[in-house]
Amino acid sequence: MRGTRHFLLGPVLLLAGCYYDTEAKLYPAGTCDTTNVTWSATVQPIVQGNCAIPGCHVAGGTGTGDFTSYQGVKDKVDNGTFRQEVVVDGTMPPDFALSACEIQQLDVWIQAGAPQN
Alpha helices in the chain (DSSP H): 2-16, 23-26, 44-50, 70-78, 81-83, 100-111
CA separation, residue 76 to residues 64, 109, 110 (Å): 9, 13, 11
Q: pLDDT tens per residue, the chain (117 residues)?
A: 555 555 444 444 444 444 444 445 544 555 899 999 999 999 999 999 999 999 999 999 999 999 999 999 999 999 999 999 999 999 999 887 899 999 999 999 999 999 999
Check residue 31 and give its pLDDT.
Answer: 84
Cβ-contact 90, 104 below 8 angstroms:
no
Q: Is 35 helix (H, G, I), strand (E, B) or coil?
A: coil
pTM over 0.95: no
Check residue 25 and give its pLDDT.
Answer: 52
